[in-house]
Amino acid sequence: MRRAIDTLFGRLVVIVIGMLVLSHVAWFAIIRFERDNVQTRFAVEEAVFLVEAVRQHIANTPDQPLPPRVHTVPLGSADVPKPPGEDIPPPLQRFVEDLKDRLPDGTEVRLNEPGGPPSVWVHGAKDAGWIVVPVQPLRPPRSRDRMLVWLALIFSTAVLAALFAAWQLQSPLRSLAQAVARFGRGQPTPPVPERGPRELRQLTHGFNQMVREVSQTENDRAVMLAGVAHDLKTPLARLRLRAEMMDDEKMRDGVVRDVDSMAHIVDQFLVFAHDRADGSEPVSVDEQCERITRAYRAVTPGAQPIRLDLEAGPAFVLPAATLDRLLSNLLDNAHAYGAPPVVIETRRDAKGWVLSVSDHGKGIAPDDLIKASRPFVRLDPARGGSGHSGLGLAIVERLARRAGGECEIGNRAGGGLQVAMVFPFDIASRTVEERREERAL
């Protein structure tokens, strides 16, 4: 099961959002702490200024009235508050300590009782009484809702910008990964746009160059193989004609069999060298399997019994030429090396449409399974024989990948070889009209 966290974009999203959450929480805590300190310092400076102003007023113009909320109280008045205890809140305690540090030594500072207007009582060594001045509340009503709204707005904007940047970084990598998957399946791979960071552009450029060189090598090999195979068809035809004119029947039959084997190898070369997309008409796989089975029984003397187990239905379609080549190679392979009965099966799986051909022979040794689909590899002694070039399973794998599927070669649990091909639903369920439009484009 695929998880979003397994993708590069998912991990970038988790990292970006996690870092943004940590940074915003840290900044929120720092802002709150610094705002408390700024409020305390401002309240201290304001109280010191007012106390000094009252002292100057008393010294210079004692007859003039003091401003509202600023007054003096005699030392023995009953209204004088008690000295602050140790149970006062930390902000008020810090305010009192900072205020004493700003005033002359020996100055006594008290706070008014809770419930009244916030004010501070100050008595210095030279003061005749208590000077009472108002102070700003150290914990005023804060617009926390507004602050949280702004924080959420900034966080959302940062997340969107970060996600866009992560998508811009991940998009070229996704295109490159898709191109690598197509190239690995043997499908035509167009050049990938070189975009993104410098390292990613260099990687994409190297991949495009590798695809071009591999494609050129494949084209050169296909042209050479097709040319050799094509040039051999004419002398083989002359050789067969001359063999037919031999008087010795036994020798004639032997030469004809050898010529037919060589012609079959040449045909395999041509099919393997063919590297163009199949433009034939898409047909229902189940119906075509039935037709190919009837034709194979009719033209192949001594063919092994073939059992059909077709459950895919009409939605499973493939190009007719590709399907004919797949089944003919697999049936020839089962007829040459396997044991009856040969089973052709189609079904719908979780990964896509499945087409499999299996026999009940000895199968392939586990150590040789990885080499079974390599071109020109013949597995001896179990899979020898005349008239075979070692291209049958290689052709099947190439045709399946060219059609957008995957080919898996393995041994059945009950004995025998099984070749299973899986085609994705979006590829093997296209209608005839969709495939025609694709070929036209």
The DSSP result for 55-84, as a single string, is: HHHHHH-TTSPPPTT-EEEETT-TTPPPPP
Query: How many helices (H) does the chain have, and how many strands (E)?
Result: 10, 11
- CATH numeric code, 279-440: 3.30.565.10
Is 197 within 8 Å of 180 (Cβ atoms)? no
Q: Do domains 4-134 and 279-440 have the same CATH topology?
A: no
pLDDT for res 223: 65
CA distance 367 to 380: 12
Is 75 within 8 Å of 129 (Cβ atoms)? yes
pLDDT for res 293: 86
pLDDT tens, 355-383? 999 988 888 877 777 766 665 555 554 44
Q: Tell me whether the omega of the peptide bond preceding residue 381 falls within 30 degrees of 0, making it cis.
A: yes
Beta bridge partner(s), residue 133: 120
- CATH numeric code, 4-134: 3.30.450
pLDDT for res 278: 58
pLDDT for res 376: 52
The whole-model pTM stands at 0.47
Q: How do the pLDDT tens digits run along the chain, 441 residues long?
A: 456 566 667 777 777 778 878 887 787 777 777 777 777 888 888 888 888 888 888 888 888 888 888 888 888 788 888 887 777 777 788 888 888 888 888 888 888 877 667 888 888 888 888 888 888 776 554 555 566 777 778 778 877 887 787 777 778 888 888 888 878 766 778 888 888 778 888 888 998 998 888 877 777 666 666 666 666 767 777 777 777 777 777 777 777 777 776 766 666 656 655 555 656 788 899 998 998 888 877 766 666 688 899 998 888 998 888 888 888 888 888 888 888 889 999 999 888 999 999 988 888 877 777 766 665 555 554 444 444 445 667 778 888 888 888 888 888 887 888 999 999 888 766 655 555 555 554
pLDDT for res 422: 92
Pick from 120, 105, 107: which is nearest to 40 by CA? 120
CA distance 289 to 302: 19
Token pair recorded at residue 251: 């020798």
Pairing mode, strands 108-111 and 119-123: antiparallel
Q: Tell me whether the omega of the peptide bond preceding residue 341 falls within 30 degrees of 0, making it cis.
A: yes
pLDDT for res 345: 93
Geometric angle at alpha carbon 417, from 429 and 406, rounded to 5°: 30
pLDDT for res 1: 43
pLDDT for res 310: 92
What is the residue extent of each domain of the chain?
4-134, 279-440
In angstroms, the Cα distances linking 270 to 17, 85, 276, 336, 395 are: 56, 102, 12, 21, 10
Contacts of 384 (CB under 8 A, 6+ apart): 378
